[in-house]
């Protein structure tokens, strides 16, 4: 175990209300790429002629739902992805009573798959879907089943429809141009404000408004685990530039 891991273990042992604030880097080790990365940008431009952000925007969803769902299903759904060491380590620490909350910008549901319960999903989850007309809820398998993607003429497309009322079923994720869900934000901010230790992992802190929530932290220790520089490095008591799964495996 290297010096950084030993220092991190010491900080965790002295803490009782840890909040973990994570981003895309937490899930890249599970094989889920950051769609805003250079590779994701190239893929979106090459295949669709648009930016990733525009392809998962509210305006595109309303104007061209078929295009939205085609991109969404191909680039944001990873059914075979499994939790990695970081997810399992956080779940273990939660069971030990160390974790007050996990605040995540990810929409993959891998924290829950690893066993975590105190998860605040700022941008929603691909695992949840709902009918825009009647409010009925559906799981991920439903919207991926071609049987539920037939229009009134029986033609199979990419848009899923409700089997109760025929309305469009959309993912319970926050699209670009949409506001974050305020109850989730309030619970996340409250947890950050009450934390004695804040661990920021797998995020470059460039996505707003989520990145602004760190300013509510008033605890004793801040740790940043990210491969590249972040805006929180100057405030951190410990900065680790190693892979987050490798770092957090010290707790398994």
Q: Of all helices (H) and strands (E), which one includes residue 215?
A: none
Report pLDDT digits (tens) over 152-202.
889 999 999 999 999 999 999 999 999 999 999 999 999 999 999 999 999
User: Nearest CA to 176 among 208, 204, 139, 201?
Assistant: 208
SS3 letters across 108-164: CCHHHHCCCCCEEECCEEEEEEEECCCCCEECHHHHHCHHHCECCCCCECCCCECCC
Report pLDDT digits (tens) over 213-242.
999 999 999 999 999 999 999 999 999 999
List domains and CATH numbers for the chain. Answer: 1-32+83-123+179-252 (3.40.50.1220), 33-77 (no CATH), 128-173 (no CATH)
Local confidence band at 57 (pLDDT 50, 70, 90 cut-offs): very high
Asked whether 188 and 211 are in contact (CB, 8 A), the reply is: no
Catalytic annotation, residues: 123
Q: Which is it for strands 169-173 and 124-131: parallel, antiparallel or unpaired? A: antiparallel
Q: How far apart, in whole angstroms, are the C-alpha atoms of residue 171 and residue 160?
A: 10
Local confidence band at 103 (pLDDT 50, 70, 90 cut-offs): very high
User: Nearest CA to 72 among 35, 97, 101, 45?
Assistant: 35
Q: How far apart, in whole angstroms, are the C-alpha atoms of residue 235 and residue 199?
A: 12
- Determine the distance from the C-alpha atom of residue 104 to the mean position of all C-alpha atoms in its chain, rounded to a whole number: 5
Q: How far apart, in whole angstroms, are the C-alpha atoms of residue 202 and residue 104?
A: 10
- For residues 15 and 151, the model is more confident at 15
Report pLDDT digits (tens) over 104-149.
999 999 999 999 999 999 999 999 999 999 999 999 999 999 999 9
Q: What average pLDDT does this structure show over 46-64?
A: 93
User: What is the structure's pLDDT at 38?
Assistant: 63
Q: What average pLDDT does this structure show over 72-95?
A: 96
Report pLDDT digits (tens) over 40-52.
666 788 889 998 8
- Determine the distance from the C-alpha atom of residue 73 to the mean position of all C-alpha atoms in its chain, rounded to a whole number: 16
């Amino acid at each position: 175990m290297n010096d950084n891991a030993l220092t991190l273990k010491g900080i965790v042992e002295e803490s009782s209300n840890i909040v973990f604030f994570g981003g895309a880097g937490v899930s890249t080790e599970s094989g889920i790429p950051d769609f805003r990365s250079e590779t994701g940008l190239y893929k979106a431009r090459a295949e669709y002629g648009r930016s990733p952000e525009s392809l998962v925007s509210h305006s595109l969803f309303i104007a061209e739902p078929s295009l939205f769902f085609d991109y969404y299903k191909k680039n944001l759904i990873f059914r075979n992805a499994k939790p990695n060491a970081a997810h399992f380590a956080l779940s273990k620490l939660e069971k030990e009573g160390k974790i007050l909350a996990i605040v995540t910008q990810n929409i993959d549901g891998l924290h829950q798959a690893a066993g975590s319960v105190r998860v605040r999903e700022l941008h929603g989850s691909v695992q949840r879907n709902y009918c825009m007309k009647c409010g009925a809820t559906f799981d991920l398998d439903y919207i991926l089943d071609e049987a539920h993607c037939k229009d009134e003429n029986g033609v199979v497309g990419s848009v899923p429809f409700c089997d109760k009322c025929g309305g469009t079923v959309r993912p319970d994720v926050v699209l670009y141009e949409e506001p974050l869900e305020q109850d989730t934000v309030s619970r996340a901010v409250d947890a950050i404000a009450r934390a004695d230790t804040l661990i920021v992992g797998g995020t470059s802190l460039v996505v707003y408004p989520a990145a602004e929530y760190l300013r509510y932290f008033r605890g004793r220790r801040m740790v940043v685990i990210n491969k590249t520089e972040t805006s929180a490095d100057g405030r951190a008591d410990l900065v680790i530039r190693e892979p987050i799964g490798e770092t957090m495996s010290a707790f398994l």
